[in-house]
A = this chain, B = another copy of it.
Amino acid sequence: MQQPGANGKLEHRTSLRVRYAEVDRLGTYYNSRALEWFEVGRTEIMRAHGMVYTQWEEQGYMLPLVEAHVNYRGRAQYDDLLWLDVSMEMAGRASLKFSVRITNEAGEAVAEGYTVHAIVHPDGRPIRPPEWLLQRFE
């Protein structure tokens, strides 16, 4: 069962395997793939906390990225199993921040970073976050 973490953060751990398509000629993951993996982490932390993202969009809330940051810490090769430790918190009144730390099975750091998302109406206008979201961080 997922519980809110301390300090108004939700937390979740998920995993994925590195695909052949994701590895470049240096034998490690191509840099932009970290952002695709962060997206997998966001999808799964929202599902784990009962806020499946497809339902956000059905209810008229969208979460476009405003900012992304990645620190590359180590290599990850084809077929490696990676852990994604994801946290989710409010960042100001109408933004969400997801932080992700990726490690391999040996516990070595692969990448870490974050994305900041506006909470907007499908027409692009910033809107007040829904109550069901705010309650989860209390």
Chain A residues close to B by CB (< 8 Å): 17, 19-21, 23-28, 30-36, 39-40, 43, 52-54, 62, 64-72, 77-79, 115
Contacts and interface: CB of A to CB of B under 8 A. Distances in A.
B20 A39 contact: yes
Nearest to A27: B25
Nearest to A43: B79
A62 B26 contact: yes
Contact of A71 (B25, B36, B66): B66
Contacts of A78: 25, 53-54
A39 B32 CA distance: 10
B64 A26 contact: yes
Contacts of A19: 36, 39-40, 43
A65 B31 CA distance: 7
